[in-house]
Every structure is written in structure tokens, then in C-alpha cells.
Structure 1
């Protein structure tokens, strides 16, 4: 899912939490945890495009294990608004990514990726890693059509 879509969904989720809790800070907190998770793509992109190494799928922040930990913490702390905001922001990101990116059914488990040594072809053969500069430029461009003109590299390309 594109970062702009994550931003819209996280903002809406944060607004709902604000409406229910009365805490305005729920909006930026939910936004942050619903969008900034994607920063973990940068190491994968640098690894492949700049260090010229075989594509890997580290994305350490994209993991169901983190959602379980956040959910347990939210329950343990008796549902304070800020843990609800963090957990729901993160949950919207992981749920939509897993649905729209369609990895292997276990692909969003960090333990599964580690077991397979983060080899992208074992986690999701159709996964593509975008050049970071091209991805950033594409997100910053205003586009009327929703076509995807990004330059991607197939996961089976063998580098270093």
C-alpha cells in the first residue's frame, strides 16, 4: 500500500480515536505509527540499490509480533488513549499491507523472515524493491491517474 494511502487511513483512525477519547494528540500519534513504519524499507533499498547486494526483506517494523506486543501492552495498561492510538495506527498499517501486498501467508512474521534468512524470494517471490529516490519522487508527484510507473527490480535478480 502506498504511503499516501497509509496517511489517509491513519489520519481517519486517529480522528476516530480523538472523537472517542477527546485527546487531540491521538491524531498525530496514530498518523506516526500508521505511516512511519515504512521507514524500515530504507535499509532494504540501500542494501540492494547502493550496496549492490541481493535483495533482502528485513523490514523489521513490519511484523505481526509487534502488533501482538502492542496489543498486550494496551490491555495490560488498561487501554490508555495513547496505547490505543499507537496500536490502532500500527494495526491499520500491517493489516492493509498484508492484504494489498499479498506476501506469503507468514511473510509479515519477523520470525518467519529470519528463519528464511530474509531471502525475498522465499518470503514473497513477487515482491519488488523500489529504488528509494524513485519511490520518493513518485510519492511527491501529484498524479491524477493511479498508474504505477515506478522502476522496480524483480526479486529474482541476483546481485552480489
Structure 2
């Protein structure tokens, strides 16, 4: 009988102490109502890691009213037209076709068809208006203003002008 009493003391007392500790923490511990609640708009964004370079947003396009004042700063050289052809094939050929007639494989499915870049309407645009039209577009054209890097834009204008002269 003494063995059972000693066993109950050595096992029971630690279990009882553990249960008492659990009850104490359960009733006096932190509650959900006192825990901090941080909302998404209250958080502060962490600092970027060292060595990162911030992205420069492209400058916005001129409005339609002031687009006419812009002229293509690039000369019409073989290098300019060569680079313009590469950029045209990357960004435009799928809708406007190889010759700019609006008969590209993707453009065939559009109603209305993509513009014929060789036509008189496009030729009548000044450089700034042509650039604005190419980047903002209408219909199914993607938002090229966010896709075409600024350093490629005037090369595209020069190449479209060369399509009109063919």
C-alpha cells in the first residue's frame, strides 16, 4: 500500500502541478481581444534589400493636343531602319504583317482589321501623333505604351515611315 501511495505522490503531484499551471495560463494568459490586430493598410512596407535598383517608370506620352510638336530625333539611316525593322518584327508584325498592310496572322482574326500602315491616313500623321497612336492604339491592340521600351519607340516610327515610302 505504501508503494501505491508513493507512486501516486511522485506521479500525481507533477501531473497536478502541470494541470494547475495550464489552468493558470488558460485563465490569466493573453486573450484574442488584447492581442494586436494589424490591418493591411496599417503595415509599413519593409525596406528593399541592399543593392537593389529601383525601376524608373517611363515618362507619360504627350496628350493628343501636344503630340504634333514632337519630331523623330533619329536620322533615317540604314542602322536606324535596321533596328526599327527588328523592333517592328518583335512588336508589330503579328497584326500588321511583313509589309504593314494589316494582314498579319493574328490581325486576320480582328474585326475591324488592323490599320494599313502604308496608307495615306497614317502618312498624314506627324511623328508625335504617329508615336502616340502606335503606343495607345485602338481596338484589339495591346497597351504597347507599357510594353515597348522608350529607347525603341522612335526606331519604330522611322520604320513605319519607311513602309510608307515603299
Structure ID, larger Rg:
2
Higher helix share: 1
Query: TM-score, normalised on structure 1?
Result: 0.22
Query: TM-score, normalised on structure 2?
Result: 0.21
